[in-house]
Structure 1
Amino acid sequence: MAVQKTLEDWLSDALAAVPRVLEQSARTVIRVIDEDKSTHGIMAGLIHADPALTWHVLRRVEELRPDHIDEIELMPEQALSLLGLTQLRELISGLPKVAANDQSDTARLLRLQARRSHLAAYLCRSFAARRHGPNVNALYLAALLHGMGEWMLVELGHGELVAGMMESDDPDGLITERLGFGLDRWITNLSDRWRFPSLLRSEYPPSPSQYLARLGVQISNGLALAAQRGWPAKTLENLGATAGLYLHQDTDQVLADVRRLSVDEARSTLDVGHPPAAAALPSIGMSEVAASEPQPKPSPAAVVEEPQAEPAARAFTAPEMAPPVRKKTKLLLPNTAFYSLTMQGMERNARSGVGAVLEHVVEGLHRGLGLHRVAFAARTRNADVLGVRFVHAWEQPCALTGAHLPMSPPNLLTKLMERTQSIWVREDNRERILPTLPEVLRRVAGDEDFFLMTLILNNRPIGLFYADRYHGHLPLDQQSYDGFRRLCTEVLKTLEKVSAKAIAGGAAKP
């Protein structure tokens, strides 16, 4: 009688294995490196389309700079800065790959896993942003790499088990029955030995925040699996109720948001070379993708047919709820850790003058709150003009760069510059407010919501901040507005420590 392998035996096998990456993902990243047309942020997005590729990059960083791994989980783009594009290219070129034309059951399972992991990470990041938690990027990586548990089981020759988990209502129970340990224990022990992701490690300090972080990862992976299975109603109701408690939202609203986010995720990854994770895309508002990238015919050994008798979940029966298509949409999510660092570093930057403080805050608003375009327009020597001095934007060139905002003839900016105050231009006030703003600002904002806040120090106008989420998936919300006003208000406290002479000398020239 064969002796059942222990968890330690499985872990030893997994640690000795080298997970393959998807050839299509590797090709895409190498091509972008060779074309030299990408930023670290865009490159990180391409790498994250493949959890195994993400794992290899983090593994290399952990080997080279083990003291930086937790910091990189908060700001993943730093991994690319530490590696450099040349070393990244060499790393990817030497990795074992799943050939793009490989139609074996194992290859199909890994492609399905890659798409599901990416969808889970996409959902988790959105949920974390709504909760305004401090570890949005770390949660994204944890949800993405959570799928490496199943990935390693496939690589160890147990694809049939993973295929069964993918179609089971109780995947954790199935793996426990077959292997003697649950999926969460498997992933936690793998994370302990890899030393990442930190949110999944058993030595991570136990706290309510840890519990909530892991809950968010588990909910997101469960919802991604349900989407891939064809939206089974019973599973969705259970997960939706849990997600509703997690997000403090109604279950139906959560499920409607999951449907919308699944469409967004599919649109954002049209170039990865294999179909999106979410099934039944025509019924959830994405027929153009379903038509252009049909699902490959599944192998009976790898994927069990979706049950047809179970009715679809109520929240997924209204095609008219699908969001309008927006071209060139990009997502920059809040990074609360960066926001906190901006607050802490403001006084330090004050030693270098007003300009250093303002530029520091503009970047903090951009990266800390996930605002796509942030600018500061300073009062110029021509008192009737504000000149944009500092800009941080996702897309370059930005229409705000070098712009001049006239305050003559008198307009709303003239009124706002009378005292420190803020305004949130949105759907319910846009028609009333936009005509009162300078034409250049109306053209820049278009039909997007945006924030404005003026800075007046000792009765002297300094300038104003502008921020929006141009073409962003996440709308501006009250939390973003509160964070915007808080950081701008802190600027005034800091500027009190800078001489009036320095303020005058730092004014922009028209």
Structure 2
Amino acid sequence: MSNKTPKRLQDWVEWLGERPLPRHPALAPDFGAESALLTWQLQQDPAAVVGLLRRAAAVRHRHLDTRLEGTEEALIMLGRNGVAACWEALPPADRLLHGEALTRYLRCHARAVHAARQAEEWVRLRHDRRPSEVADATLIRHMGELMLRAHAPERMAEVDALATDARLDADAETAVLGFTLQDLAISLGNHWRLPYLALEDLSGIRPLSQRSQAVLLALRLARVAEDPRAARELPVLIQALSHYMGDSEDHARRVTLETAQVIHEQTPPPTGWSPTLALDGDRGPSPSTPAPFCLAPRADIRARVAAELEREDFDRARLELLTRHRLDNREAVLISLVLTGLHEGLGLNRTLFLRAPRRGEHLQLFLQRGALGDPLLHEMTVTPAHSPLLREVIDQAPAYRLCQPTQGRDRLPEPLQRFNGGQPCLLASLRVNDRLAGLFYADRHLAGCGLDGTAAMGFRHFCEQAGRRLQRLADEHHHLS
């Protein structure tokens, strides 16, 4: 890597934008095979799919403004000779990487294929007409990590040193890079004009299609399956998957395990990893868990966010919101900026804003930071009437509370209680024009990363700033859209 190390997300996109993703050295597609089999073989390698779609998108862009749907369409557009040329242009991974860097690249490669095959099987069971496109989308969502493992392995080694548990991935990525690998994958996908399905917002703030739900669940399942320390997440994932399939948890578990076993048999060595290990019933003793990495507060980000709120300088937050969620209204930008202050400035792992409707009794997830991939977050709706604690906090709005959800009087309403997992959390309710505007939630979701007085005071300060700015926006007749 050059001495001019990229710093911002856009710098990384420009730096990586002309670089190839290296292919697996042990794979060799049969370019004379019939189309369905060739597509399947290409999807055994994320590099082949990304490289093929990049080349096809560049050709198509000169003639049409629409995007390709997936590998099957790219194969038709480029023909077998074009696909073969694209494959040959990709460098083998063992030419660029060696030792531990190569091992970690191939492990991520195997995880991507595992996730893609799971998602493809799930949508096939739901009678999707083109499950291959879902496999493509799932592979592409691993593109950010694969590109950095290929071209900046030393930075990924820093991330790996912090992410000792699958639940810490996003925090470690943000601490080292300043953004998540999902942010990078989406930005690269837009840069290369890859299929829209692969770039859909999975944050939980919008209803997800049947296909995107499969991608979201598969991404998380594949990551958890390779980490025995995160195995306690599997029951929640299997429950979410059974709901997605419309069948029993036993059926969801059986389908998932059978698919993982087939994938393992088809995965070329070396990987040093079996995706069945954390899915079957015989896991053996859990490995010892090192001291948790706790997301460190960033005084510089805290000060910057506070100053931007005070000056009502929302340009940076607006650009970030457009990049992450394709949202652009003043109130959403304000909430997004506050969540950045809570998550990155104060080091609070998971931060949510639940929005109050103009009519009705439910709070709906509006924006979040730090909780991407949690299946319990998808379309979260909270009913305050089911929680004495929440009714009290809302009735006294504006109100700020440090809660212990394991204690009866602090119990949260479902599904927020299940999402919380028994950790202390912070709540703040806000009113605008004497009407409930919404609820901020924040926690540090690992037992070794507790909340302290400094975090609680910072949380209150940001929420008070949010309340004042929301009121000013309401006075100027800007409303939540």
TM-score (norm 1): 0.48
Three-state SS of the structure 2 residue aligned to 1:308 is coil
Asked if residue 44 in structure 1 is aligned to residue 39 in structure 2, the reply is yes
- Does residue 101 of structure 2 align to residue 99 of structure 1? no
Unaligned runs of 5+ in 1: 287-305, 311-510
Distance in 1 (alpha carbons) for counterparts of 2:233 and 2:210: 21
| Residue ranges of structure 2 left out of the alignment (5+ in a row) | 290-481
Distance 1:226 1:21 in 2: 24
Segment of structure 1 superposing worse, 8-17 or 128-137:
128-137
Query: In 2 relative to 1, CA 194–71 (structure 1 residues): closer, same or farther, beyond 3 Å?
Result: closer
SS in structure 2 of the partner of residue 170 of structure 1: helix
Q: Deviations over 1:28-76 (max 9, x none)?
A: 12xx34xx4x2122222221111012111111111122368978535x3
Query: Which residue number in structure 2 is paired with residue 12 of structure 1?
Result: 14
In 1, Cα distance between the equivalents of 2:167 and 2:181?
Answer: 14
Q: Which has the larger radius of gyration?
A: 1
- Tell me whether 96-105 or 228-237 shows the greater mean CA deviation: 96-105
Cα distance, 1:130–1:90 mapped onto 2, change above 3 Å: closer
1:73 pairs with 53, 62, 69, which one?
A: 69
Q: 1:236 deviation in Å?
A: 0.9
Aligned to 2:341: none
Task: Indicate yes or no: 2:224 matched with 1:226.
Answer: yes
Aligned to 1:143: 138
Counterpart amino acid of 2:57? E
**Structure 2 match to 1:264:** 262
Alpha-carbon distance in 2 for matches of 1:240, 1:309: 24
Q: 1:278 aligns with which of 268, 274, 278?
A: 274
Identity of aligned residues (%): 19
Please tell me the residue identity of whatever aligns with 1:88. V
Partner residue in 1 for 2:211 = 213
Normalising to structure 2: TM-score of the pair? 0.51
Q: Distance in 2 between matches of 1:285 and 1:203?
A: 34
Structure 2: how far apart are the matches of 1:283 and 1:213? 23
Deviations 1:239-297 (A, max 9, x none): 22332333333334322321111012223x25x343485345599599xxxxxxxxxxx
Native 8 Å contact 1:219 1:243 kept in 2: yes
CA distance in 2, matches of 1:187, 1:53: 16
The residue type equivalent to 2:260 in the other structure is S
**Secondary structure of residue in 2 paired with 1:22:** coil
Match of residue 200 from structure 1? 198
Superposition pairs for residues 99-138 of structure 1, below 5 Å? 99=94, 103-133=98-128, 136-138=131-133
CA 1:85–1:201 in 2, change beyond 3 Å: closer, same or farther? same
Measured in 2, the distance between the counterparts of 1:79 and 1:57 equals: 7
Residues 1:177 and 2:172 aligned together = no
* 1:273–1:95 Cα change, 3 Å: same
Asked if the contact 1:230–1:278 (Cα under 8 Å) also holds between the matched residues in 2, the reply is no
Aligned partners of 2:117 and 2:85: how far apart in 1? 28
Number of residues of Structure 1 aligned to a counterpart in Structure 2? 279
| Secondary structure of residue in 2 paired with 1:139 | helix
Residues 178 and 100 (structure 1 numbering): CA distance in 2 closer, same or farther, change over 3 Å? closer
3-state SS in 1 of match to 2:134 = helix
SS in 2 for 1:184: helix
Other-structure match for 1:160: 157
CA contact (8 A) 1:263 1:284 kept: no
> Residue 217 of structure 2 aligns to a residue in which SS?
helix
Q: 1:23 aligns with which of 22, 25, 31?
A: 25
User: What amino acid is aligned across from residue 60 of structure 2 in structure 1?
Assistant: R
Which residue type is aligned with residue 220 of structure 2?
A: G
- How many angstroms apart in 1 are the aligned matches of 2:111 and 2:64? 28
Residues 62, 69 of structure 1: 8 Å contact kept: no
Find out whether 1:308 has 2:287 as its counterpart: yes
Structure 2 Cα separation of the partners of residues 62 and 277 of structure 1:
33
In the aligned structure 2, how far is the partner of 1:229 from the partner of 1:140? 22
SS in 1 for 2:256: helix
Shift of 1:230: 4.1
Give the counterpart letter for 1:41 in structure 2.
A
Offset at 1:309?
5.4
RMSD: 3.6
2:136 partner amino acid: L
Of 33, 56, 79 in structure 2, the residue corresponding to residue 61 of structure 1 is: 56
**1:173 Cα deviation after fit:** 2.3
**Partner amino acid for 1:10?**
W
Distance between the aligned counterparts of 2:252 and 2:101, measured in 1?
33
Cα distance in 2 between the residues matched to 1:215 and 1:190: 21
Cα distance in 1, alignment partners of residues 263 and 79 from structure 2: 28
Q: Report if the CA contact (8 A) 1:115-1:276 is conserved.
A: no
